[in-house]
Structure 1
Amino acid sequence: MTTNDLHDSPPPGASRGAWRAVFSLTLGVFSLVMAEFLPASLLTPMANSLAISEGQAGQAVTVTAVVALISGLLVASVTQRLDRRHVLLAFSLLMIAANLLVAYSPDLILLLAGRVLLGVALGGFWALSAATVMRLVSEHDVPRALSILFAGVPIATISAAALGSYLGELVGWRNVFLLTTAISVLTLIFQYATLPRMTPERPSPLGTLVSVMKRPGMMVGIVAVLLVFCGHFTFFTYVRPFLEGVSHMGINALSSTLLAFGVANFFGTLAAGYLLERSLRMTLLLMPLIMGSLGWLLATLGGFSTGTDALMVALWGFAFGAVPVAWSTWITRVVPDEAESGGGLIVASIQLAIALGAAAGGVVFGIGGVLTVCATAGTMLLAGAALVVAGVRTQSVDTAFEACDAERSACS
């Protein structure tokens, strides 16, 4: 099966509508990611309002990540006979319900219930995103479409951190979630107007996950994903202690550096489309190589110059911007016939890497301090880059055979 076979109906005049659909998915990414991270910037007022500890309120983020991991693995099999348009619209409805439940929650139980609904929508959406993009645009345009899709992530992250805390002080945390609900409603309307019908391609029973993992090069690729994302989140979880304790930044310099990280991350996401159109393997290798080198530079040279430290953190943000786009593109190339199940594996791997990275960073921070965290993160990332060189395939086995046959035909 070729990638073009995955389109329901690819008439030439449908391209403009297809790109509108891609932008509607980008708005979905923005809405989901902003809702995911809002509690982190509203932790104290949420805890005070609900009469719970900040640690308990923090579980609003944890439970979403855990449920997203499970949802990402199960969505392809649970919804295997449903039109993908209907499934994606259902996720937007779940997001609206989740935000409303949180906004009006009188206690921790309903707060966590809302976050469970968000986790279902988040994991399911990300698992289907790459496969959906494959059905909206041509094979050549998939990297560019994915870079547009992922551009919603840094915008949402910045908005959740900066606007969330600012608006929380002005209008209260519940009204911030109501505002997020309004954005979710706009997302639903936009997606309803632009997403075409996308009937399921083939049944995807739960055993498909196992068969996909057994394909040549998949296990190596998933381990590389774990190393790269774990390395990133090991560092990023402790970037503030680094900037405060090693770079000795005040609150203004700290805020500016984190903003620069977010802006650079946004441009790195957009640049990913350009890089991936030229070489998937180069992008998969270059980004963790840059980040790993920066990790060791921060560990050895950090603190000598505030400006240099800020520049290296911003460069890290730029490099990481291309990473999710590159690995999502990788899934569309190595398992084009099972992109939904492959996408679920990627989502689960990333959610697991977030948890492992934060945990590993905490252990290392307690043992050797924040500079050791930087070195550990750098080592993980360089190991991920080495795996890309050693054994990560960048095309499916069938595609490789077709290329070999074409080469032999040309030479005969």
Structure 2
Amino acid sequence: MTTSQETLTAPSPRGVDDRKLPMSPLLALATAAFMGILTEALPAGVLPEMARDLSVSESATGQMLTIYAIATGLSAIPVSVATAGWRRRKLLLVSVLAFAVANLVTAVSSNYALTMVFRLVAGVAAAVVWAELVGYARRLAPPHLVGRAIAITMAGIPLALALGIPVGTFLGKLLGWRLTFGLVTAVSVALIFWILASVPDAPGQEAGKREPILKALRLPGVVAVLFVVAAYVLAHNILYTYIATFLDEYELGGQRDIILLVFGVASMVSIFITGALVDRKLRSLTIGSTALFIVAAGLLWAMADNAVVVYAAMILWGLGWGGVATLLQTAVTDAGGDRGQALLVTTWNSFMAGGGAVGGILLDRLGPTSFPWSVLALLAPVLLVVVGARAHAFPAKRPATG
């Protein structure tokens, strides 16, 4: 059976210095991650304006995020299978081109149905991008710096959340949402040329050497990592999707922008810490990230009526969340190789979409005060699994460096 070691020991592309990280291609990959998140979440920042211009309700406009996440989650495995033989750079370029086309259509379309079709297309493209980024980072990096390369690549996610979406929202109000999507299109086109100039190509898999993606579930550690992904992402999105409603409950809605900025800055700090330590401390970092989120949820449960405590909780939550993408991407690839990545993309996006649905049910039946204890209920078993899965899922020594 093929194992993840084939991925870990693959030689670096020609021209890559084995002593240091090739920053230009890694930053291009980080920009692709940035564009994936920005394309997904930007409608949330300009939702009232989009709803008015498209002559639909705000709830209908909000489904632009839902259809994107569902498309990403459902298409990750079948698209990975269908494109396994493609050259890797060609596949990445086609995906970024799909971002550009989808954002361009969004910028000029006045037809809600047409816009939703291209949001679905962008969601499928995102599935490809998420499945490719870690594999590319591993091929580009020397073995002792693989985790750091993944951290740099995944830095585009918190950067988009902390800066990209707030700036996009500001530009949407200043220049109009259509021009903002036009600017995102222009950045996507520029990224295509950057990838062509700096990201090396790699072959696809030969037909005779491909193994079913679902077969990776039999590899030790994969199921444990995917459970952590599912519960952690669900917990985060229950609270994050309805954070405005939660803050309003405690009369902190007027400070929402500052509170989310604090969360974003803490997330960026987390990604830098993770990047520096993930190659040697993946297990400790994962335990620490989970513990920080648990403490944050406990503070929000017990003392959310105190603004100082809320800010402290947001800092702890951001520190716990920022590096999670890197940690879990690294863990699942150590355990399951490239096939593990496709499973992670499906799990991540499915439970990200599920967070909005579960949070909505909790909001309707129990109110916003139920969010923190729901997070605690989800994260307690996560911590137990991470601590207990020391043999394969979250070992003290990673296969790439042990």
Normalised to the residue count of structure 2, the TM-score between the two structures is 0.91
Distance in structure 1 (CA, Å) of the matches to 2:81 and 2:127: 13
Whether 2:103 is the aligned partner of 1:99: answer yes
C-alpha contact (below 8 Å) 2:16/2:140 kept by paired residues: no
C-alpha contact (below 8 Å) 2:51/2:58 kept by paired residues: yes
Q: Which of 166, 171, 174 is the matching residue for 1:167?
A: 171
C-alpha contact (below 8 Å) 1:154/1:265 kept by paired residues: yes
Match of residue 153 from structure 2? 149
CA 1:17–1:92 in 2, change beyond 3 Å: closer, same or farther? farther
Structure having the higher Rg = 1
CA 1:161–1:93 in 2, change beyond 3 Å: closer, same or farther? closer
Q: Deviations along 1:193-251, whole A, 9 cap, x unmatched? A: 011120124449996222101222322221121111111111212222222222x2252
CA 1:4–1:10 in 2, change beyond 3 Å: closer, same or farther? farther
Match of residue 323 from structure 2? 322
The one-letter amino acid paired with 1:86 is K
The number of residue pairs the alignment matches comes to: 396
Whether 2:188 is the aligned partner of 1:188: answer no
Whether 2:274 is the aligned partner of 1:276: answer no
CA 1:141–1:155 in 2, change beyond 3 Å: closer, same or farther? same
Aligned to 1:6, the other structure's residue is in SS state coil
Whether 2:247 is the aligned partner of 1:249: answer no
C-alpha contact (below 8 Å) 2:299/2:310 kept by paired residues: no
C-alpha displacement of 1:107: 0.4
Whether 2:279 is the aligned partner of 1:265: answer no
The one-letter amino acid paired with 2:74 is I
The one-letter amino acid paired with 1:233 is N
Q: Which of 225, 232, 235 is the matching residue for 2:229?
A: 225
Aligned to 2:202, the other structure's residue is in SS state coil
Whether 2:74 is the aligned partner of 1:73: answer no
Aligned to 1:106, the other structure's residue is in SS state coil
Question: Which deviates more, 197-206 or 94-103?
Answer: 197-206
Q: Which of 125, 128, 133 is the matching residue for 1:129?
A: 133
Aligned to 1:124, the other structure's residue is in SS state helix
Match of residue 387 from structure 1? 385
Distance in structure 1 (CA, Å) of the matches to 2:227 and 2:21: 37
C-alpha contact (below 8 Å) 1:7/1:134 kept by paired residues: no
CA 1:301–1:97 in 2, change beyond 3 Å: closer, same or farther? same
Distance in structure 2 (CA, Å) of the matches to 1:174 and 1:393: 51
Match of residue 312 from structure 2? 311
C-alpha contact (below 8 Å) 1:74/1:206 kept by paired residues: no
The one-letter amino acid paired with 1:333 is D
Match of residue 293 from structure 2? 291
C-alpha displacement of 1:19: 2.4
Distance in structure 2 (CA, Å) of the matches to 1:120 and 1:177: 19
Question: Which deviates more, 178-187 or 142-151?
Answer: 142-151
Match of residue 333 from structure 1? 334
C-alpha contact (below 8 Å) 2:238/2:358 kept by paired residues: yes
Distance in structure 1 (CA, Å) of the matches to 2:235 and 2:167: 28
C-alpha contact (below 8 Å) 2:13/2:140 kept by paired residues: no
Question: Which deviates more, 277-286 or 108-117?
Answer: 277-286
C-alpha contact (below 8 Å) 2:16/2:22 kept by paired residues: no
Structure 1 residues without counterparts, runs of 5 or longer? 404-412
C-alpha contact (below 8 Å) 1:76/1:204 kept by paired residues: no
Distance in structure 2 (CA, Å) of the matches to 1:205 and 1:255: 50
The one-letter amino acid paired with 1:261 is F
Whether 2:376 is the aligned partner of 1:374: answer no
Aligned to 1:176, the other structure's residue is in SS state helix
Distance in structure 2 (CA, Å) of the matches to 1:348 and 1:136: 24
Aligned to 2:9, the other structure's residue is in SS state helix
CA 1:306–1:401 in 2, change beyond 3 Å: closer, same or farther? closer
Match of residue 23 from structure 1? 27
C-alpha contact (below 8 Å) 2:386/2:394 kept by paired residues: no
Distance in structure 1 (CA, Å) of the matches to 2:148 and 2:277: 9
C-alpha contact (below 8 Å) 1:221/1:392 kept by paired residues: no
Whether 2:299 is the aligned partner of 1:301: answer no
CA 1:392–1:39 in 2, change beyond 3 Å: closer, same or farther? farther
Aligned to 2:322, the other structure's residue is in SS state helix
Distance in structure 2 (CA, Å) of the matches to 1:400 and 1:260: 32
Whether 2:66 is the aligned partner of 1:62: answer yes
Distance in structure 2 (CA, Å) of the matches to 1:393 and 1:110: 49
C-alpha displacement of 1:401: 10
C-alpha contact (below 8 Å) 1:4/1:138 kept by paired residues: no
The root-mean-square deviation of aligned C-alpha atoms, in Å, is 2.5
C-alpha displacement of 1:60: 1.2
C-alpha contact (below 8 Å) 2:46/2:173 kept by paired residues: no
Distance in structure 2 (CA, Å) of the matches to 1:396 and 1:266: 23
C-alpha displacement of 1:277: 2.4
Match of residue 409 from structure 1? none
Question: Which deviates more, 30-39 or 2-11?
Answer: 2-11
Distance in structure 2 (CA, Å) of the matches to 1:296 and 1:310: 13
